[in-house]
Amino acid sequence: MLIIQTLIYGLAQGSLYALLAAGFALICGILKMITFAHGEVFMVGAFVALGVIVGLGLPPAVGMAAAMAAAMALGVFIERVAFRPFRGGSSMSPALITIGFSIALQALVLLLAGADTKPFPYGGGEFKLTVGSVSVSGIELTVILASFILVALLQLFIRKTSWGLALRAASMHFDAARLMGVNTNMTVALAFGLASMLAGAGGLLFGAYYGAFYPQMGVVMAFKALAAATLGGITSVSGAVAGGIMLGVIESLSVLFISSGYKDIIAFSILILVLLFKPSGLLGRFEEEKV
Amino acid sequence: MALLEVRAVRKVFGGIVALRDVDMTVSEGEIHGLIGPNGAGKTTLFNVLSGNYLPASGQILFAGRDLAASRAHERVKYGIARTFQNIRLFKSMSVADNIKTGFHGMTRTGWLTAIFMPVRAFKEERLVTAEAAKLLERLNLTWAADEPAVNLSYGDQRRVEIARALAARPRLLLLDEPAAGLNETEVGVLEHLIRGIRGAGITIVLVEHDMRLLMSVADRVTVLAHGQRIAQGIPEEIRLNTRVINEYLGGVPA
């Protein structure tokens, strides 16, 4: 039963990766560029939620909505400042500006909230779903279910709305979409908005899961999620989500069978192997550009 | 009445002048042919008209509106739609979805509304789906609605591209070599389609190397060579114009 318990841990951790990885896929899909401030959007979302829940005493659901709204605003702002002015130009400038955002946002939260790690007021330890020797805590269940629902809603939006179609079209053929009447600036902003909403929600879920909110909480998460997105296939949202879940599960299995000290080494060795043999990721595919 | 007026448009790439103060007037309701040897600047002119390139100087008036400051997607909203010389469909998307992208400029829901009031977005999406289905039916492409665009024959892909452009309800349609790569039967279907589109009141500018097709459908023709307009007139005049024969028609009157 230990293995099932381990898989559940992996699934919870993997869902957190998936929320960030889906965002990387959305942004990279349309711009073919990467943001280095995604972990800080995640972190800012977490702190806004904490402020709403602890500071204002409002319920966690309101905190979640606030995290998503704040993260979306921040993500759209970052796109406006770091990406839009350089459209069609070098991808170096946006990369550097987002690194700047990453450092500055960590410093800002450090100044405003202090360096100490803040706990989450709801323990989540009261509720436990136990089947045989396997038990799932309330917070694990919340993380897994909330991530699942958010990713499902994202997919619904992408598949079933006209803006979702614009997003798919612009990701496939940016210029053709523009010349067919798609407002591509708005579409890029939408990609950042959606990606950041997921990141903000992920930040709160992470903080609640580990009972820890701190200014650097997004750094390692974002890098691992980027790796996970690449593992699954960064050109597709579903590939990136699958990559996130896989990375979480691989990590937890290596903790079980080898040792927790090796989990990052194993996870990233697998990533390197996948990239060597299938550069587009496990589920991704590269489209040919010219007819 | 002139629907489109191109006045002294100049486009420079590095040191090369691709368009040298080109003038062109397109009247409402006509099919206007645009011909010239390869590299004459026909596609460049299309790119300037559709907002893909900004001209170095000159003016473009569309239905009395100066387009200098408007961006590509806005021009689609004003009524200029186009197709591409190299087919640029969203290949792995279904034919129906490809056509739905053409409607995007018409939809009124912003993305914030779509996220926070999804019901409204879904409603509009249903409307767009119905419109796309109508368009597919008119072009006899209903059978292909759910096929990935890339699976269609070349000729059908061209028609999907035209349908996608028509989805934007244009007043002016720019067709860039729609007959390229088509067999004789397909060209026949295309000719019928072009006449039908004009019959629906849509003005067309047609770039085409198939002289039989172009001369038979065009009301007037503009000829470009080396980025300059060397002639403009009705097909009969163009066919007999010695400069056009020397530069393009190659001494064999079509």
Which residue of chain B is at minimal alpha-carbon distance from A191?
B111
Q: Which residue of A has its CA nearest to B162?
A: A180
Per 3-state DSSP, chain B is made up of helix, strand and coil in percentages (nearest 5) of 45, 25, 30
pLDDT at B247: 82
Mean pLDDT over all residues of chain B?
Answer: 91
Using one digit for the tens of pLDDT, what is the confidence trace for A55-72?
999 999 999 999 999 999
Q: Which CATH number fits domain A2-277: 1.10.357, 1.10.286, 3.30.70, 1.10.3470?
A: 1.10.3470
pLDDT at A90 (0 to 100): 82
Characterize the bridge pairing of strands A128-131 and A134-137. antiparallel
DSSP characters for A169-205? HHHH-HHHHHHTT--HHHHHHHHHHHHHHHHHHHHHH
Interchain proximity A162–B103, CB inside 8 Å:
yes
Which residues in B lie closer than 8 A to residue A183 (C-beta atoms)? 73, 104-105
Chain A interface residues facing chain B, Cβ-Cβ under 8 Å? 157, 160-163, 165-166, 168-169, 172-173, 175-184, 186-187, 189-190, 193-194, 197, 287, 290-291
In order of their start, the domains of chain B are 1-79+170-254 (3.40.50.300), 90-169 (no CATH)
Q: Which residue has the tokens 């900004």?
A: B54
* Residues 162-221 (B) with a CB less than 8 A from some CB of A: 164-165, 168
Tens-digit pLDDT profile for residues A229-256: 998 888 889 999 999 999 999 999 988 8
Nearest CA distance, A103 vs chain B (angstrom): 29
How many degrees, rounded to 5, is the angle at CA B209 between CA B204 and CA B212?
85
Share of chain B above pLDDT 90, in %: 74
Q: Which residues of A touch B92 (CB under 8 A)?
A: 172, 287
pLDDT the model gives residue A280: 80
Would you list the domain boundaries of chain A?
A: 2-277
Half-sphere exposure of B189 (CA within 13 A, CB side): 15
CB atoms < 10 A from the CB of B251, how many? 7
N residues, chain B: 254
Q: Give A21's pLDDT tier (boundaries 50, 70, 90).
A: very high
pLDDT at residue A131, as a whole number = 76
pLDDT per position as a tens digit, B139-174? 999 999 999 999 999 999 999 999 999 999 999 999
Over residues B8-32, mean pLDDT: 94
In chain A, how long is the greatest CA-to-CA distance?
A: 60
pLDDT confidence band for A267 (50 / 70 / 90): confident
Contact A13, A251 (CB under 8 A): yes
The pLDDT score that the predictor gives to residue B251 is 55
For an interface test with B, which of A76, A175, A179 has the most B Cβ atoms less than 10 Å from its Cβ?
Answer: A179
At A80-136, the pLDDT tens digits run 999 999 987 888 899 999 999 999 999 999 999 988 999 888 765 567 777 777 788
CB contact under 8 Å between B88 and A176, yes or no, is yes
Give the single-character DSSP code of B181: T
ipTM for this prediction: 0.82
Lowest mean pLDDT among A107-121, A262-276, B213-227: A262-276
pLDDT tens readout for residues B41-96: 999 999 999 999 999 999 999 999 999 889 999 999 999 999 999 899 999 899 99
Q: Which stretches of chain B are DSSP H helices?
A: 42-49, 72-78, 95-102, 111-116, 118-138, 154-167, 184-199, 211-217, 235-240, 242-244
User: What's the pTM?
Assistant: 0.88
pLDDT at B25: 95
Question: Are the beta carbons of A180 and B87 separated by less than 8 Å?
Answer: no
pLDDT (0 to 100) of residue A153 = 95
Closest to A284 in 3D by CA, of A225, A245, A228: A228
